[in-house]
Amino acid sequence: MSRRRHLVELRKAPAAVLPSLLLCDFGNLEREIRQLEAAGVRALHLDVMDGQFVPNLTYGMPIVEACRRLTDLPLDVHLMIKQPQQYIQQFYDAGADIITIHAEAVESPGDALAQIRDRDCGAGLAINPNTSVESIEDCLSLCDLVLVMSVEAGFGGQSFQPVALEKLRVLKQLVDDKTLLEVDGGVNGKTIRDCQAAGAQLLVVGSAIFREPDYRDAVNQLTNLTLTV
Q: Which residues belong to the active site? A: 47, 184
Q: Confirm if 21 and 137 have CB atoms less than 8 A apart.
A: no
Residue 116's closest CA among 78, 88, 139?
88
Instruction: Give the CA dihedral 17, 28, 52, 102, nearest 10 degrees.
Output: -20
Continuous segment of H or E residues that includes residue 71: none
* Euclidean distance between CA atoms 225 and 76, whole angstroms: 23
CB 215 within 8 A of CB 209: yes
